A and B are shown apart, each in its own frame.
Chain A
Amino acid sequence: MLRLAPPNRCYFFAVTSFIDVNSISKRFGEFWALRDASFAIRRGEVLGLIGPNGSGKSTLFGCMAGLIPASGGSVKAEFADIPVAERKQHLYFVPDGVHPWNDQNVAWVLRFFAHLHGASPEAMRMRINELSLASLLAARLRELSKGEHRRVMLALGLLSEAPLLLLDEPFDGLDLRQTREAMSVLRQHAGAGRTLFLSIHQLNDAARVCDRLVLLNAGRIVGAGTLSELRARAGATDAGIEEVFLALTN
C-alpha cells in the first residue's frame, strides 16, 4: 500500500501544487470513512478521484469543501491553511444526488445561480450552449431526466467562479454522446485555467478525461499520479486502468 509523504516531505507537491490536501480524516463513530488522505492538486489540471463504492469519495469532497466536518487534516493553498469558512473562496463542490429548487424552471435556476455567483449573462449563455440546455429552459427541474438534470448541475458548477471545481459523478446518467460532450466542455474549462477534481466511478471515463488520478480505497489514498505512474506503482506496465485499479485496490 502506498505510504503517503508527510507534509514536510511534499517538496514536489509544494513547488507545483495549487491546493494541498493534508491528512484529511473523517470518522463516523468507530468507522473511519477517510484516513489521512493527502494529495496535491495542480493548477489547471483535471484530477480524477476513483475508488470502489463506499471508499469515501463523496466524503472526501464534502470534507474538502467544508460541508462535512473533518475529524482531522487540512486543506492548504500555497502553504497556508484554508479555514473551513473560507473554503468557498477557493473551491466549489457540486454534490451527487442533490435536487435543488425542483419547482423552478431551468432558466430561472441558471439565472439565479449566475447572479448569486456574479457570473455574467454571457457566461450563462455560454453554459447553456456548451451543455445543450436551450431546449430545457422552460422545464421545471423536477421534470428533467437524470441526464438532463446532471447537465444542469454541471452548468451550475461551471457558473460558480471558484478556481477549483469538485464534481461528484459528473457523467452519471449521461449517455455516451452527452458524456463525450461534457468531457469536452470540462477539458475546455481546464484549458482556460479552471482546475477540476472529478469523482468518477466509470474508470474508462476517468482515464479519458483526467490528467491524473487519485485512487481511494477504504478511506485511504492508495495511489496518485498519471495512469503511467499508477501502472508502474501497480507493477503492470501494459495494463489498462481497470487492471491497475484492481491491483491497487486489492
Chain B
Amino acid sequence: MPVLKRCFLRSPTKAARFSVWRNLIGKELRELVASRSFWLLLLVVSALVGQAFITSVNLYAEASGSGGNPAALSQGLSPLEGIAVPTFGAYDLASLLLFPFVVIRLFSSEKESGALLLMLQAPVSYLVNIFAKAIALFTAWVVALLPGLTALALWKVMNGHLYTPEIVTLLLGYLLRGIITIGIGSVAAALSASASSAAIIALTFTLATWVLDYIAAARGGIIAVVANYTPWAALRVFERGELSVSVMVVLFTSSVGALLFVSQWMRVGVALASRMRIGALCVFATVIVCAAGATLSVSDDTSENRRNSFSEADEAALASIEQPLVITVYLAAEDPRLVDLDRGVLSKLRRTMKHVSIVYAAKGRTGLFEHAGDHYGEVWYALGDKRVMSRSATEEIVLESIYELAEKKPPTLAESVPYPGYPLDARPIAAPWVFFGAWPLLICSLWFVLRRHDTSRLQQGD
C-alpha cells in the first residue's frame, strides 16, 4: 500500500462532514458567547438602535403634522427613508466601530492562544475552520440585527406602514455589510500579530475607503467605479431600495475572497514567499470575479415610491435607444446641482440604458474658481454625432433632451397611481422601555445564564 494512503484519517461521509461543520461552528459560537466583545456589541447596538428609532419616529411625527404643526406633503413621507433607514443607520456605526472588533477577537485569539497550531493539525482543512468562523460571526451579526427588527415591529404596532420588498432589500444590504465586515476583520487579524494591530489595520482600511469615496466624488473613470463598491457606498444602494446584482456579487465575492486569503495566510508552516504567492493569487482571482460582477447591470427597484426609476413608459423608450449615450457634466463634486442630477437622473439612466457613460469634467471640487470658458454648469448629452447642452437637473428636461437626440417621441405618460406617502403622528412610548430596559436586561440575563449553563450541566453529570 503506498505510504500516503496509509493515513489514520477516515474518508468523510456526508454525515461526517456535516458533523465536522456542526462541531466547528459550535466551537466558534461558544467562543463568541464567551467573549465580552459580543455582548458589548449587543448592548451598544440596542441603545444605538433605540435612540435612532425614537428620534426618527419623533421627526416623522413632526413632519406628519403633530401638535398642529403644518404637515409636509404626504408623498414625501416614506417609512423607508423616514424610519427604517435612520433606525438601521445605527448598524452602519456598529459595522464600522464595533463588529470588526468582534471579528478580530475571534480570529486573533486563535493565533495568540496557540489554538491555531492545534487547528492547523486537525484532520479537516483549515479552510473549513475559517468558514465555520465566518458562519458563526454571521449568526452573531444576525442576532445583533434583532433590535432593528424589533424597532420595525414596534413601528407596525404603532400602525406604521412598511413595504416588505424595500425592507427586505434594506436588510439584505445590512446582512452583506456584516459579511464584508467579517472579510475585512479576518484579513486584518490574519495579517497582524495581535488584536490591537488588527484593529488599526481594519480602521485604516475604513479610512482608505472614505478617502476613495472623497476622491471619486470629483472624478469619473475607474476610481468612481471602484468607489461604488466601498462598504459605505454599497450600503447606500440598498438604503435607496435598489437591489443591485453587481453590488451583491462584488460584496459577496470580496468577502469570500478575503476568507480564502485568510485560510492561506494563516498556514504558518508554509514559507512566507509561498503564502504571498498564493495570497496574491487569491486577491487576483477575487479582483477578476469582482470586475466581472461589476459589469452586471441587472438591478431591481424595490422601493415603493420608485425613487430609483423613471416611469415605465420612459424606461421602455430609453431602453430602446441602442447608441451609446455620453454625458459630460461640468459640475464640481460639491455643487448641489450635481448631487441632484446624480441622484435624480444619472443613477436612473445608468440602470435603464444599455450604453451610458458619464464624464465628470469639472476641474475643481467646489466650482468656485472655474473660468468663464470652462463651460461650468453645463451638461452635454452626446448620442452618435449629435450633441445637446442643458443646464437642468430636472428629470423631465433631461429626458426631453435625450429623446431629441435620439429622434424619439417622448412617450405619453400612462395613468399611474402616485405614491401616496404614509404620514403618521405617533409617539414611541414603548420604545425607551424596550431598548433601554428590556433588551439590555435580556442580554445581561442571557450572558449570565449561558456562562453558567455548562457548569450546571456538568454538575448534573451530563
Contact = CB atoms under 8 A, between A and B. Distances in A.
Interface of A: 62, 65-69, 77-80, 82, 84, 86-90, 92-95, 97-105, 107-108, 112, 115-118, 137-138, 156, 160-163
A241 to B, nearest CB: 30
Interface residues of B, number: 38
A163 B121 contact: no
A98 B269 contact: no
Contact of B113 (A99, A118, A163): A99
B123 A102 contact: no
Nearest to A77: B3
A91 to B, nearest CB: 8
Nearest to B270: A69
A108 B30 contact: yes
Nearest to B112: A99
Contacts of B30: 104, 108
Nearest to A100: B115
Nearest to B114: A98
B27 A112 contact: yes
A103 B34 contact: yes
Interface in B396-453: none
Contacts of A163: 8
21 contacts: A65-B121, A66-B269, A67-B117, A67-B120, A67-B121, A80-B2, A82-B3, A84-B270, A89-B8, A89-B9, A89-B123, A93-B121, A95-B117, A99-B114, A100-B115, A100-B118, A101-B113, A103-B31, A116-B123, A156-B118, A161-B8
A79 B3 CA distance: 9
Task: Output the residue of B122, B272, B274 with the most chain A CB within 10 A.
Answer: B122
A92 B110 CA distance: 18
A90 B8 CA distance: 7
Interface in B160-217: none
B458 A137 contact: yes
A68 B270 CA distance: 7
A65 B23 CA distance: 24
Contacts of B123: 88-89, 116-118
Given A103-B35, A104-B34, A137-B458, A97 B269 contact: no
A62 B268 CA distance: 10
Contacts of B271: 69
Given A67-B117, A77-B3, A105-B458, 8 more contacts: A65-B269, A86-B7, A89-B7, A101-B115, A102-B113, A103-B31, A116-B123, A118-B9
A149 B121 CA distance: 20
Contacts of B274: 69
A100 B129 CA distance: 15
Contact of B122 (A99, A102, A105, A117): A117
Contacts of B311: none
Nearest to B20: A116
B124 interface: yes
B269 A90 contact: no
B113 A88 contact: no
A86 B6 CA distance: 11
